[in-house]
Amino acid sequence: MGHPFPGLEPLIPADAVLEKLADGTAWGEGPVCLDDGAVLWSDIPGNRVLRWHPQEGLGVALQPSEFHNGHTRDGAGRLYACSHGERAVLRSDDGGRGWHAIATHHDGRRLNSPNDVIVARDGGVWFTDPPYGLIQSKEGHGGEQQQDGCWVYRLDPHTGEVQAKVRDMRWPNGLAFSPDETTLYVTDTSRTHDPAGHHHIRAYPVSGHTVGEGRVFAVVAPGMPDGIRLDEHGHLWSSSGSGVQVFAPDGRRLGEVPVPETITNLTFSHLEPVLYLTGSSSLYRLSVSVRGARF
């Protein structure tokens, strides 16, 4: 028999099997791995954060959650979340039991509905801000968009200033850095509400806090490139309507992990070579042969 995932032989073991760990979400997003082996992820319409643990199984970590979406960790292990309900980026210093807002406004106006977040090595918090929590009644409280656009921001960890770093995308969604932090990848999912909208991934050169002119890195179909992550060698792993699509650093599509539902987000475990996937209704696990980049 051939490899179960053609084109991905160096990245996934030949005996790897996609495992469904839990289901029952209305729309799952934002998985993040904890030091005890648990995975947290969001059920946005359910207004809750779920927790799966290898020994303890499935449970509810937070409800109501103010419509958490994306999650991440920083180098110190602190948790971050994007809240549609609070229109804010949140941080937890106690493993997800308590949360406080660290970014709520830009230029004196409320953010739209922060969607996904990553933390760079220097502590800068980068996040996307499309309008989904404003325009979808099941994913937020609604409200008026106060920002002039939907941008990618950086929160300075020392001053607390929120600066718009990418302004040339319609609805930025998922984001991730290359392993060396010289490239920022951002997905645009504006096609969700506009047939003429985008479903691609853009790449931006980064030098310090300066972001250069972007380019289209890859177009993802079917579906959208919602969440993305990179492995230690710079391969980009993207969600899509048919599974997880994997791209080489030069943008070539290498192959796909088929999944029987729309994949929304994904994350590499920092404890073992494992990839966790959130689908529209389920949480999956897949053994891999690579480690994830930290972002």
DSSP per residue, 95-131: SSSS-EEEE-EETTEE-S----EEE-TTS-EEEE--S
Range list of H helices, 49-183: 132-135
Which CATH number fits the domain that encloses residue 135? 2.120.10.30
CB contact at 8 A, 23 and 287:
no
Q: Which helix (H) or strand (E) holds 31?
A: strand 28-33
CB contact at 8 A, 25 and 280:
yes
Residue 13 within a domain: no
Containing structural domain, residue 178? 24-287
Give the distance from CA 96 to its chain's centroid: 17
Residue 11 within a domain: no
Query: Averaged in consecutive runs of 10 residues, what is the pLDDT profile of the chain (295 residues)?
Result: 92 97 97 97 98 97 97 96 98 93 98 98 97 95 96 97 98 98 98 95 96 98 97 98 97 97 97 97 98 85
Residue 233 within a domain: yes
CA distance linking residue 10 with residue 254, whole number of Å? 11
Give the count of domains, the chain: 1
pLDDT of residue 295: 62
Query: pTM, whole model, 2 decimals?
Result: 0.97
Residue 8 within a domain: no
β-strand pairing of 215-219 with 210-211 = unpaired
Residue 75 within a domain: yes
DSSP 122: T
Q: Is 21 helix (H, G, I), strand (E, B) or coil?
A: strand
Q: Is 147 helix (H, G, I), strand (E, B) or coil?
A: coil
Residue 18 within a domain: no
DSSP 223: S
